[in-house]
Structure 1
Amino acid sequence: MISETEFGFYLKQARERKGFSVNQLALESGISNAQISRIENGLRRAPKPETIRKLAEALHIPYEEMMEKAGHMPDERRQEIPPWATSKDKRDFKKMLEEDGEIMFDGIPINDVDKQRIMHVLTGFFWEAKQMNKRKKPNDPDGDKV
Structure 2
Amino acid sequence: MTFGEYLRNLRKKKGYSIRQLALYSGISNSYLSQVEQGKRGIPKPEYLQKLAKALEIEYDDLLAAAGYRVKPQIDILQSFNKQISLEEALQELLNSDHVMFNGLPVGELDEETKEDLKTAVLAIMEYKAKHGKSQQQPKKAAAAARKNVMVDGGAILLSAAVS
**How high is the TM-score relative to the length of structure 2?**
0.44
**How high is the TM-score relative to the length of structure 1?**
0.49
Task: Please state which structure has a larger fraction of its residues in strand.
Answer: 2
Tell which has more relative contact order, 1 or 2 (C-alpha 8 A, sep 6+): 1
